[in-house]
Amino acid sequence: MMTHPAPTQASRNNRTMKAAVFAEPGRIVLEEKPIPRVGPRDALLRVTTTTICGTDVHILKGEYPVARGLTIGHEPVGVIAELGEAVSGYEVGQRVLAGAITPCGQCHPCLDGHQAQCGGKAMGGWRLGNTIDGCQAEYVLIPDAMANLAPIPDHLTDEQVLMCPDIMSTGFGGAESGRIRIGDTVAVFAQGPIGLCATVGAKLMGATRIFAVDALPERLAMARSLGADVTINYKERDPVQAILEATDGRGVDVAIEALGTQATFESCLRVLKPGGVLSSLGVYSGKLTLPLDAFAAGLGDHKIITTLCPGGKERMRRLMNVLASTRADLRPLVTHRFTLDRIEEAYDLFASQRDGVLKVAITP
């Protein structure tokens, strides 16, 4: 599978790599950094494809704080370059990906099923490009490799699986946390990459009527092609009113929030039936208020479930199952391609949502 030999550890230790690092608010720049050294439970990946996430844009803008000099990026597809001495079951040269969330699998929360909250700190499982160096680089260290390296079936390309580490896992997680059942009516507010994947996930779980809400016509068109039954451009119609009318006032069984604003969160509650689930994926900033009328003053048996991107290799295996089965094809989400050298350009495009961009593929 590898066409050129992996560099030896010795040679790598003397070498540097290119990496996109957070310099200061407003600046993510490509720098030379040492290739990381591999600890006993780690693996080193040579990154073959990665991408930029909305969260990375928050980091770029200084809205989400990370250490200066940190390599950004949490969606790695690559090839194993080196394995820690305590890692078994893999081999150098193997083609793998890892989730954005890299749980250890062995701490109390992980063993209790809360892998995204690994270690017991909020978002503790999100390490790549957050608390340790990420994968917008030529190489990335994957911690707790045995829990996280997911081999990629040969017949799936890098781009086909590029949504697995975060977008697909998060979006599907929104549908799963909503406990969608066959015959459910679902609303998905915002049809960015994560919202689109939530729409796909809702359909995969058996929702039979899916309302997709956004303001960009091309995103609504994409939503429809991926499974939405009704699309609503909120600049043209009040989505709350439209959904309540279309459901004869009944509301939806599950409302998925995929943006992280007061408006979308509140709209979710307003279209939700009593007893329904508000499945929240967005990253909120500022202030978030529960409208008590829509919340039935706390007496509506509403459930608000937040979900951080599920990670770990079993999750990744299941997501690749979906792609291998052709039940869903997420390739249309990759709208633009850049080499790592041009990543600053890619950030500029992605952050501005120009040219119908959904996701960009970055190839070191």
284-343 residues in contact with a second copy (CB under 8 A) are 284-290, 292, 295-308, 312-315, 317-319, 321-322, 324-325, 327
Q: How many residues bind a second copy (CB under 8 A)?
A: 87
At residue 113, what is the residue type?
G
Q: Which of 66, 97, 135, 147 binds a second copy (CB under 8 A)?
A: 147
Nearer to a second copy, 108 or 331 (CB): 108
Give Cα separations from 195 to 77, 136, 210, 254, 274 (angstroms): 22, 23, 12, 14, 23
Pick from 258, 213, 221, 217: nearest CA to 238: 213
Please count the other Cβ atoms lying within 10 Å of the Cβ belonging to residue 230: 17
Nearer to a second copy, 104 or 255 (CB): 104
Nearer to a second copy, 33 or 317 (CB): 317
Region 196-235 residues binding a second copy, contact defined as CB under 8 A: 201, 204-206, 208-209, 229
For residue 96 the two structure tokens come to 């793998």
- Give least dist CB 232 to a second copy, A: 17
Listed ranges 45-53, 122-130, 214-222, 232-240: which one lies at the site for a second copy (CB under 8 A): 122-130
At residue 104, what is the residue type?
C
- Give least dist CB 209 to a second copy, A: 6
Q: Which helix (H) or strand (E) holds 58?
A: helix 54-60
At residue 55, what is the residue type?
T
- Give least dist CB 1 to a second copy, A: 19
Report the C-alpha gap between 296 and 269 in whole angstroms. Answer: 10
Could you say which DSSP state residue 116 is in? G
Cβ–Cβ < 8 Å for 67, 160: no
For residue 213 the two structure tokens come to 């809400």
- Give least dist CB 17 to a second copy, A: 25
- Give least dist CB 52 to a second copy, A: 18
For residue 30 the two structure tokens come to 């490509």
Region 148-177 residues binding a second copy, contact defined as CB under 8 A: 172, 175-176
Q: Which helix (H) or strand (E) holds 150?
A: strand 150-151
Nearer to a second copy, 30 or 305 (CB): 305
Report the C-alpha gap between 115 and 105 in whole angstroms. Answer: 7
Interaction pattern, residues 127-146, with a second copy; x per rule: CB under 8 A: -----------------x-x
Nearer to a second copy, 48 or 261 (CB): 261
Cβ–Cβ < 8 Å for 177, 148: no
Cβ–Cβ < 8 Å for 193, 75: no
Q: Is 15 in the site for a second copy (CB under 8 A)?
A: no
Region 20-49 residues binding a second copy, contact defined as CB under 8 A: 40-41
Nearer to a second copy, 17 or 186 (CB): 186
Q: Is 179 in the site for a second copy (CB under 8 A)?
A: no
Report the C-alpha gap between 204 and 221 in whole angstroms. Answer: 19
- Give least dist CB 318 to a second copy, A: 3
